[in-house]
Amino acid sequence: MERESSLEHGFDPRDGAPGTARFSGAVRIRFGYSLAMARLRRTAGFWASALLVVTWGCGGTTILEHDGSAAAGPDDPSSSETQPGSAGHDGGPNASSGACSAGEARCNGSFRRETCTEAGAWIETDFVCARTVAVDDDIGSYCVTKADGAYRCWGAESSGAVDVPPLPDEIYRRVQLTRYGLIGLTEDGRLRAAEFTIPESFSQVVTFRQTNMWGNVGVCSLRSDGAFEMFLYNPREPDGPSTRTQSVEGGPFSRMYCAWEGMTAAVRADGTVLSNHVTPPPGNDFAELALSVGIFCGLRTDGTISCHRPPADTIGDLDVGPDLPAFPSGRYRSITATVGVVCAIDEQDALVCRRYDGRDMPVPPARYVSAEGGHNVVCAVRADGSTACFRHGGVGNLDLENVSDFAPVEPPLDPGW
């Protein structure tokens, strides 16, 4: 079993260089750089409150818990947003009025879990629902952030998860664990990093993702004014760390996407697509995108999904075959991708996943409201406010013809937290 570590807080890049390409039957692309980068040495930060270290067995999995309390919680109106399964990206209530069936569970407008009694009535519980999940596409770590700002992150030991210092004390609505430490988006729309400083934006940040961008730490953000901005930080400069801000022209944008080694894409406010690594698909009816090594998919406003292969340029060393992911007929509400799999949530709240070559990748049935993929992990928020994460194999050498089925990540992130 792969050894992992977990970090819980009560508040909640690989070196890149242009490569060369060649084709032989199946799509095959050759790296011009090393897939692995030596772990960055870092000094553990000072923990403001007590740490609890627990060994879970099965490969020596370790949990680090950091205690604290949030200044705002799920009863704070500023915490209420729309669930990705309904109309947005950053979590929120998915409850509806009416009778229920005994045993059902859902999250209400205060981000509390409600359960249905034998009499068919909803009863609120003390369980605080998960608000967002964040998966790092560079190292495959993953974080869950609850509606009260509490967050928990898990990552491979090689990511240095045990040693990372905590984020500044704020209320966070999304937290990501990266090779360079924790990064979080505060309730009031500011980005905070544990190990370096991110310049303040002129307007509130709506969402973000950190990934390796051309060998730099790349923090990509979408602002409330529709601007797509990248903050690039290089800690390995001979004269000391360097920082620069780079804006993506061509907006305003409604969605932005960054994937490792410099892949960027965005959906404009008018529904057209901007991309720096593929020819954008035609049309002005796009709602979301999913991209990673060897795949580029678009979700249109009519709920249909189409995928195509990026050109063989600087992206990877993979054999994916001539086929593409094809999803069953019907309407879908969101899409995401790992290095070898594309997943979508349909109108019945099912999570449907396909390998790049089109093969089915089953996940346990449940009602899902949002999902995020990266590296070889997909994490999702269920309708009852719990979370689930799944990992597939076939990534170490990017032999995507041998991607293995998903396996649930153990120990689970819920219940009990």
pTM summary value:
0.79
Distance between CA atoms of 255 and 223, rounded to whole angstroms? Answer: 10
Residues 129-140 as b/e (b if ≥16 CB within 10 A, e otherwise) read: bbbbbbbbbbbb
pLDDT for position 303: 96
Distance between CA atoms of 177 and 194, rounded to whole angstroms? Answer: 10
Residues listed for the chain = 417
Give me the domains of the chain, ranges plus CATH numbers. 4-71+129-408 (2.130.10), 93-128 (no CATH)
Q: What is the pLDDT of residues 107-131, one digit of tens each?
A: 999 999 999 999 999 999 999 999 9
Q: What is the pLDDT of residues 234-248, one digit of tens each?
A: 888 888 788 899 999
Q: Which region among 6-10, 72-76, 209-213 has the lowest average model confidence (pLDDT)? A: 72-76
Q: What is the pLDDT of residues 244-260, one digit of tens each?
A: 999 999 999 999 999 98
pLDDT for position 215: 85
pLDDT for position 393: 84
Residue with tokens 């519980």: 125
Q: What is the pLDDT of residues 300-338, one digit of tens each?
A: 999 999 998 876 544 555 555 667 888 999 999 999 999
Taking all residues of the chain, what is their mean pLDDT, rounded to a whole number? 76
Give me the half-sphere count of Cα atoms (radius 13 Å) on the Cβ side of residue 68.
26
pLDDT for position 7: 54
Confidence check: pLDDT of 342 > 90: yes
- Overall average pLDDT of the 201-216 stretch: 92
Q: Chain-centre distance of CA 360, in angstroms?
A: 21
pLDDT for position 409: 84
What are residue 21's DSSP bridge partners?
A: 29
Q: Please give the backbone phi and psi of residue 157, each rounded to the nearest 5 degrees, phi first.
A: -55, -35
pLDDT for position 91: 43
How many percent of the chain have pLDDT more than 90? 44
Q: What is the pLDDT of residues 141-168, one digit of tens each?
A: 899 999 988 888 887 654 545 567 889 9
